[in-house]
Amino acid sequence: MSTTPQAVALGDRALPPAPERRRLTPEEHRALARRRRLRRELTGWAFLGPMFVFFVTFLVVPVLGVFWWSTRSGSLTIGSEPVGLANFRRMPHQVDALTAIRNTVQFTLMSVPLTLALALGVALLLARVTRGGAVYRFLIYFPALVPGVIAGLIWVFLTNVDFGLFNTVLKAVGQDPVTWLGTKSALKVVAALDVWRSTGYWSIFFLAAVIGLPRVLYQAAELDGASGFQRFRLLTLPLMRRIILFAVVVGTIFGLQVFDTVLILTNGGPGTATQTIVLRIWNYVFSADKVGYGAAISVVLLLAILCLTLAQLRLLRSRRGED
Amino acid sequence: MSLIRDRRTSELVDAYAAGRLSRRGFVSRLLALGLAPAVAGAVLAEAGARTASAQASTLPKDVSGEMRFMIGPWTDKEIEHQETIAAAFNQTYPNVKFSFKLFSWDSSGPEIDASLADGSHDIYYFGEGAYLARAKQGSFADLTERINDPAWADEKAKYLYWDRLAAYGDKLIGLPICWHVEDALFVNLDKVKEAGHDATFVDTWDGFVDCVTKMTKGDETYGLGMGMQLGNFAEWYQRARSAGGRFLTEDLSKPAINTPDVVTETQHLVDFFQKGIAPPLGTFNYDTAPDAFIAGRLATYSSDLTIAAVLMGKPKPPAFEWAVLPWPPGVKERLSFNDIGLYGMNAKTPNPDLAWEVLKFWTSGPQGAYWTAVSGTYPARKDALDYGFGEKGVKQLADSFEQFQKFSVGPEPFLQWGTIETQAGQQAAQAYSGEISAQDAVTNIEQIVNQEVFG
């Protein structure tokens, strides 16, 4: 049978001949494939584009701006001039420079370990709950949904000397009321607020990890006679190393950037008792209109967090091969 | 005989009268033309009269336009109060529309900057602490010519504190609307009487200490609440000034704060905490202190005048007799620290003549008296009492208006004042809580002055 296209008679009408099915050359194939790939790439970039624009506009440009401002003196109000590294050289001589650093580090050391330990405990408990688990998870997670400003206001009322919940309880059990936001205790209260707010957040992370742990290992350990604590120490902790590492790094970064709750609860006071690094930056930029100096402190904080994170990663990943 | 006969002199006078040439520029160009100083002075006077007659002309009654305000919320009814004044203005100029945007006090600087830059508002409220920076910035219209217009001299004389604004330089960028006492004493007079004193207990330091000591009843009632004022306005600076201290000398050439008298005065404040007369820092704050005062937990306490309106606005205002009084004399003198509030206009405003008319109206006797009375602050006018200041607002403020005026002192005229005051307050607070000595606090403050101004 001939494959040559020809008119097919169909009554009085004739159909046009079918077009010849042309074979594509390898070059044409490649060109088509290239075009398809390009279209896929363009589609991908089209979806990524808006996010990328926001990323550049609201992160890359401001970060570069901070570096630029850190080498300038002056303000948003009356203009600025380049001063080289003078802002950085000035920092060590600043009165109370160490106070803000010490408070921030103390806050982080109080808040992060306690938060993560509690979150892990809560996650292990939640993993055992079989009925009403969703309700418990919501209740545990709820403080994380509260914005920092609202959380600060809630704790203002909790810690009020005359009508706050904490002192009401103390008075009910015959104890003297406490000045919770006094010089000695204010930083601890701010750390407690952070623990209250962050525990639920991390416990949900840990819960997801706990649920995903291989049951068979625990069953084997039980058969081998391992106690609950041994299973936790020798199985749970090593298996959750990665998520714990992530939590320690991110929790530390959050801790070093503490700001909103301090602003609302104590505004850095009494005196400088709760003065933190970011609060100080905020004061320089928005109250004192010293954008350059505030930016220089921001750069130092950024580099410090970067170094600390790298050190944490190195330390905590040192036994990676055992995972 | 007219002195303005030469063509070039005449051109200069026209430029000056039209506001294209500053007074200083006008005089220096007259001198450059070869006129003797006395002749140049006479020309200036004659040109001033011509300028005055031009500026005295009022706007036509049918003038139209919109005046956009950016202001701070003194009370939760700020917009309502502003609209009341706008309605009064519209009785004369019915075709002028008004809009009011409130800034947040915490971020007022950046908000005003952004607005000035894009010209989105015409009139702004700003405080004396920002005056110098604003004058240097140049985004506010220079009102010097208008304010110094001889035709407006009588009205100008009714405003207070031109001398203080003059300390910031030759350029005038605002009309004062109020002056706000930052550290007044709110006094429970019933408790004062129980302690065997009367309202004059603040007239001597010894009387003051005796009274607040006697009013203290353990941790049930503290004789004096202090250390809870907001931001830049903690009472330590006022007390340091009362002891003859200043952050900088009069000529702004070096620190003048670390003196034995300032240390003594600081120690006086520390003593209140150490003796339990003042509640430990953190017990009460700016927001909770009014309730503590009403409940009798604080027999007296130090805060800004706004608290008077706050107290009267409470569901249960003080059920006792109370007063607002100045702090007692210090080691050297008796002073009451305050800062002036002003209205200025954006240099980019499309209708500066209308904006000027609005500024004058807003700060005039009747309107100034009304707004300050309902906002809990003092009017920057000598004739405020004639216009009913104190009849509408809190009586206690009007009662002490003249007394505070007598001891009035403002911030020092240099850019870094606010930054230093914030840090100084923190040092003082560390001394109050016993972390450092009074001497260390004052030494640190001197170091801060050096770093901020000369470092």
Q: What is the pLDDT of residues A34-47, one digit of tens each?
A: 999 999 999 999 99
CB contacts of A97 in chain B (<8 Å) are none
Give the pLDDT mean for B431-444. Answer: 95
Tell me the pLDDT tens digit for each residue of B244-295: 999 999 999 999 999 999 999 999 999 999 999 999 999 998 889 999 999 9
Tokens, residue B315: 């569901």
Does any CB of chain B come closer than 8 Å to the CB of residue A91? no
B44, pLDDT greater than 70: no
Distance of CA B184 to the CA centre of its chain: 14
B314, pLDDT greater than 60: yes
Does any CB of chain B come closer than 8 Å to the CB of residue A269? yes
B446, pLDDT greater than 70: yes
Tell me what pLDDT residue A289 has: 77
- CB spacing of A78 vs B451 below 8 angstroms: no
Tokens, residue A290: 């010293």
Q: How far apart are CA B50 and CA B150, in angstroms?
A: 10
Tell me what pLDDT residue A315 has: 78
Yes or no: say if B428 and B269 are a contact pair by the CB < 8 Å rule. yes
Cα dist. A22→A30, B89, B319, B434 in Å? 16, 85, 101, 94
Yes or no: say if B127 and B339 are a contact pair by the CB < 8 Å rule. yes
CB contacts of A186 in chain B (<8 Å) are 282
Among residues B415, B427, B233, the alpha carbon closest in space to that of B337 is found at B233
Q: Please work out, in degrees rounded to the nearest 5, the angle formed at the alpha carbon of residue A102 by the alpha carbons of A97 and A105.
A: 130
Mean pLDDT over each residue of chain A, to the nearest integer:
87
Size of interface A-B (CB pairs under 8 A): 102
- CB spacing of B430 vs A186 below 8 angstroms: no
Instruction: State which residue of chain A sits closest to B442, comparing Cα positions.
Output: A95
Where is average pLDDT lowest: A212-226, B183-197, B200-214?
A212-226
Where is average pLDDT lowest: B39-48, B194-203, B396-405?
B39-48
Instruction: State which residue of chain B sits closest to A186, comparing Cα positions.
Output: B282
Which of the four pLDDT bands, split at 50, 70 and 90, describes residue B440? Answer: very high
Which ranges of chain A have pLDDT less than 70? 1-15, 17-21, 77-78, 317-323
Instruction: State which residue of chain A sits closest to B429, comparing Cα positions.
Output: A271
Q: How many CA atoms lie within 13 A of A295 on its CB side?
A: 24
End-to-end Cα distance, chain A: 69
Which of the four pLDDT bands, split at 50, 70 and 90, describes residue B39? Answer: low
Å between A40 CA and nearest CA of chain B: 42
- CB spacing of B451 vs A93 below 8 angstroms: yes
- CB spacing of A288 vs B418 below 8 angstroms: yes
Tell me what pLDDT residue B3 has: 45
Q: How far apart are CA A161 and CA A177, in angstroms?
A: 7
Tell me what pLDDT residue B83 has: 96
Å between A76 CA and nearest CA of chain B: 8
Å between B291 CA and nearest CA of chain A: 10
CB contacts of A94 in chain B (<8 Å) are 451
Instruction: State which residue of chain B sits closest to A78, comparing Cα positions.
Output: B137
Give the pLDDT mean for B57-61. Answer: 75
Backbone dihedral angles phi then psi of residue B272, each to the nearest 5 degrees: -60, -40
Does any CB of chain A come closer than 8 Å to the CB of residue B67? no
pTM: 0.79
Q: How far apart are CA B330 and CA B321, in angstroms?
A: 26
CB contacts of B137 in chain A (<8 Å) are 77-79
Mean pLDDT over each residue of chain B, to the nearest integer:
88
- CB spacing of A268 vs B426 below 8 angstroms: yes
Does any CB of chain A come closer than 8 Å to the CB of residue B134? yes
Task: Considering only the C-alpha atoms of chain A, give the largest distance between any 2 of them, rounded to a whole number of Å.
Answer: 112
Does any CB of chain A come closer than 8 Å to the CB of residue B231? yes
Exposed / middle / buried, residue B105 (Cβ in 10 Å: 0-12, 13-18, 19+): middle
CB contacts of B283 in chain A (<8 Å) are 161, 179, 182
Yes or no: say if B221 and B298 are a contact pair by the CB < 8 Å rule. yes
Å between A53 CA and nearest CA of chain B: 23
Tell me what pLDDT residue B332 has: 93
CB contacts of B109 in chain A (<8 Å) are 76-77, 286-287, 289
Instruction: State which residue of chain B sits closest to A293, comparing Cα positions.
Output: B452
B315, pLDDT greater than 60: yes
Tell me the pLDDT tens digit for each residue of B400-416: 988 898 999 999 999 88
Give the pLDDT mean for B338-366. Answer: 95
Among residues A253, A265, A278, the alpha carbon closest in space to that of A149 is found at A265
Tell me what pLDDT residue B1 has: 36
Tell me the pLDDT tens digit for each residue of B126-138: 999 889 989 988 8
- CB spacing of A270 vs B444 below 8 angstroms: no
Decide which of B117 and B176 is more confident. B176
B2, pLDDT greater than 50: no
